């Protein structure tokens, strides 16, 4: 029998794009600039300043024994502000544990964010209508919730999307891959944003993956993936707005990798100087997302020193109000330890609750 020629053919070819709009000097590519007016850009800046003030105060409170363990968001404000500003009223936010800034912008009161990290379960009891999931400390678990909420919105025919955030480290969990796969198969109304801050506690990115980018992983699930400069609020906003449009209009999920850097320790229980170099941190401090946006505003005549002073004072005053609200909360009833996470308590927790209540005699 005569042999045949069976050439190897290319069955798939993938390109992953990176989007940058605002450079480190505060200059922008006007062609790529999203449609945001001056007031809105000033508001985004003020939101980022407020996040930084909230973060810095929490670190001080922890040192004074007035706060539990706090994971700082310093350096990651552009992602959180950019994503929040691209979202609409009916969209859901599914956070992990380093998302205080975006939770705040999506309607969780600051003193409740503090309360959660001070060990008070009432910190998860958000006001009605706030479409935010509780903090998820089990690394990666939130990705699956984001697929589930996105599927639910699709099945209900809601013109809304589920936006899930998580760290680079969480992309090594099976949960992440299952969530992306399921979202792709069912074309859920989901947007997934990786806050790639390049460290998972002491594990650097190159120990997390051999892939050049995290965004390219989207190809494996048949969904669009894009990398953005995560310290560039305009790039984050633009990529998220595009992904949200797609999700809301039945176009399916998107994976966004926002590359940033964790300027602080992993949490207040960590000392990052034991595993990473000062020079690396110093290099990223030069790329501070707040500084970058301020340079943009100043160079466009939209901001000056007096406005900066006023905004810093307002942010401090707001933080002081949140601390006062936190510290004036009446003592918690022990039964509340169980009440704010599940709509219906699973049997093992119902049992634990009965035991606790018997012990404290209430
Ligand atoms: C399932 C699980 N494994 C381990 C931990 C301990 N842990 C907490 S945060 C973290 C690293 C997370 O890194 P990354 O996803 O990059 O998020 P980042 O802390 O950088 O925001 C680990 C291993 C955990 N909370 N849950
Ligand atoms: Mg990380």
Residues 112-121 have pLDDT tens digits of 999 999 999 9
What's the confidence (pLDDT) of residue 225?
Answer: 98
Residue ID of nearest Cα to ligand 1 atom 4: 139
* Mean pLDDT calculated for residue range 83-105: 98
What's the confidence (pLDDT) of residue 317?
Answer: 98
* Mean pLDDT calculated for residue range 171-180: 98
CA 114 / ligand 1 centre spacing (Å): 20
- Phi, psi dihedrals of residue 56, rounded to the nearest 5°: -65, -40
Q: State the closest ligand 1 atom to the C-alpha of 141, by its place in the atom list counted from 1.
A: 1
Note the residue count of the chain: 362
Q: What letter does residue 199 receive in the DSSP assignment?
A: E
For residue 186, what are its two tokens? Answer: 């069912």
What's the confidence (pLDDT) of residue 339?
Answer: 83
Residues with CB under 5 A from ligand 2 (ion): 167-169, 197, 200
Residue ID of nearest Cα to ligand 1 atom 11: 200
Q: Are 122 and 336 in contact (CB under 8 A)?
A: yes
Number of CB atoms found within 10 A of residue 71's CB: 23
Q: State the closest ligand 1 atom to the C-alpha of 139, by its place in the atom list counted from 1.
A: 26
Q: State the closest ligand 1 atom to the C-alpha of 170, by its place in the atom list counted from 1.
A: 15
Half-sphere exposure of 225 (CA within 13 A, CB side): 19
Residue of 74, 101, 139 to test ligand 1 pocket, by largest number of atoms within 8 Å of CB: 139
For residue 216, what are its two tokens? Answer: 């390219």
Q: Are 264 and 284 in contact (CB under 8 A)?
A: no
What's the confidence (pLDDT) of residue 342?
Answer: 85
For residue 240, what are its two tokens? Answer: 């998220």
Q: What is the DSSP string of 318-354?
A: HHHHHHHHHHTSPPPPGGGGGTSS-SS--HHHHHHHH
Residue ID of nearest Cα to ligand 1 atom 19: 200
Residue of 70, 169, 262 to test ligand 1 pocket, by largest number of atoms within 8 Å of CB: 169
Residue of 171, 178, 200 to test ligand 1 pocket, by largest number of atoms within 8 Å of CB: 200
Query: What does the alpha-carbon distance between residue 348 and residue 143 come to, in Å, rounded to a whole number?
Result: 24
User: Would you report the helix, strand and coil content of the chain in percent, each value rounded to 5?
Assistant: 50, 10, 40
Residues 235-284 have pLDDT tens digits of 999 999 999 999 999 999 999 999 999 999 999 999 999 999 999 999 99
Residues in contact with ligand 1 (CB, 6 Å cut-off): 98, 137-139, 166-170, 197, 199-201, 262, 266
CA diameter of the chain: 89
Number of CB atoms found within 10 A of residue 141's CB: 17
pTM: 0.96
Does residue 291 have a pLDDT over 90?
yes
Non-local (6+) Cβ contacts of 238 within 8 A are 19, 21, 32, 34, 86, 228
What's the confidence (pLDDT) of residue 264?
Answer: 98
CA-based nearest residue to 147, from 166, 128, 130, 121: 166
Residue 65, by phi and psi: left (phi above 0), alpha (psi -120 to 50) or beta? left
What's the confidence (pLDDT) of residue 2?
Answer: 87
**Which position has the token pair 């999203």?**
34
What's the confidence (pLDDT) of residue 361?
Answer: 78
* Mean pLDDT calculated for residue range 102-119: 98
* pLDDT band for position 362 (cuts 50, 70, 90): low
Residues 28-82 have pLDDT tens digits of 999 999 999 999 999 999 999 999 999 999 999 999 999 999 999 999 999 999 9
What's the confidence (pLDDT) of residue 335?
Answer: 79
Q: Are 113 and 74 in contact (CB under 8 A)?
A: no
* pLDDT band for position 87 (cuts 50, 70, 90): very high
Domain boundaries, the chain: 34-330, 333-362
Q: What letter does residue 66 receive in the DSSP assignment?
A: S
What's the confidence (pLDDT) of residue 111?
Answer: 98
Q: Are 67 and 58 in contact (CB under 8 A)?
A: yes
Fold of 34-330: Rossmann fold (3.40.50)
Half-sphere exposure of 128 (CA within 13 A, CB side): 0
Q: Which residues are catalytic?
A: 262, 266, 275
Q: State the closest ligand 1 atom to the C-alpha of 166, by its place in the atom list counted from 1.
A: 15
Residues 313-359 have pLDDT tens digits of 999 999 999 999 999 999 988 878 888 888 899 999 999 999 988 98
Residues 199-237 have pLDDT tens digits of 999 999 999 999 999 999 999 999 999 999 999 999 999
């Amino acid at each position: 029998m005569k042999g045949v020629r069976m050439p190897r053919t290319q069955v798939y070819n993938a390109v992953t794009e990176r989007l940058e709009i605002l450079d480190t000097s505060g200059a922008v590519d006007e062609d790529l600039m999203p449609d945001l007016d001056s007031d809105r850009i000033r508001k985004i800046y003020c939101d980022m300043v407020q996040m930084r003030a909230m973060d810095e105060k929490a670190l001080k409170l922890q040192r004074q024994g007035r706060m539990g363990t706090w994971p700082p968001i310093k350096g990651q404000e552009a992602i959180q502000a950019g994503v929040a500003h691209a979202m609409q009223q009916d969209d859901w936010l599914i956070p992990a544990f380093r998302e205080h800034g975006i939770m705040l912008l999506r309607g969780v009161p600051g003193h409740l964010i503090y309360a959660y990290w001070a060990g008070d379960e009432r910190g998860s009891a958000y006001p009605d209508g706030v479409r935010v999931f509780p903090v998820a400390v089990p690394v990666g678990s939130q990705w699956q919730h984001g697929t589930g909420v996105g599927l639910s919105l699709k099945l209900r025919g809601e013109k809304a999307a589920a936006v899930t955030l998580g760290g680079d480290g969480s992309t090594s969990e099976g949960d992440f891959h299952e969530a992306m796969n399921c979202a792709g198969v069912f074309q859920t109304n989901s947007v997934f944003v990786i806050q790639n801050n390049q460290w998972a506690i002491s594990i650097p990115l190159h120990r997390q993956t051999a892939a050049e980018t995290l965004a390219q992983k989207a190809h494996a699930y048949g969904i669009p993936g894009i990398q953005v400069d995560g310290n560039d609020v305009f790039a984050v906003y633009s990529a998220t707005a595009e992904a949200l449009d797609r999700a809301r209009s039945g176009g399916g999920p998107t994976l966004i990798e926002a590359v940033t850097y964790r300027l602080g320790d992993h949490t207040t229980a960590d000392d990052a100087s034991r595993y990473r170099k000062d020079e690396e941190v110093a290099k990223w401090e030069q790329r501070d997302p707040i500084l970058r946006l301020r340079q943009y505003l100043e160079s466009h005549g939209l901001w000056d020193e007096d406005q900066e002073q006023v905004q810093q004072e307002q942010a401090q005053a707001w933080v002081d109000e949140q601390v006062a609200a936190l510290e004036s909360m009446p003592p918690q009833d022990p039964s509340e330890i169980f009440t704010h996470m599940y709509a219906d308590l699973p049997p093992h927790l119902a049992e634990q609750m009965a035991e606790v209540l018997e012990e404290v005699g209430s």
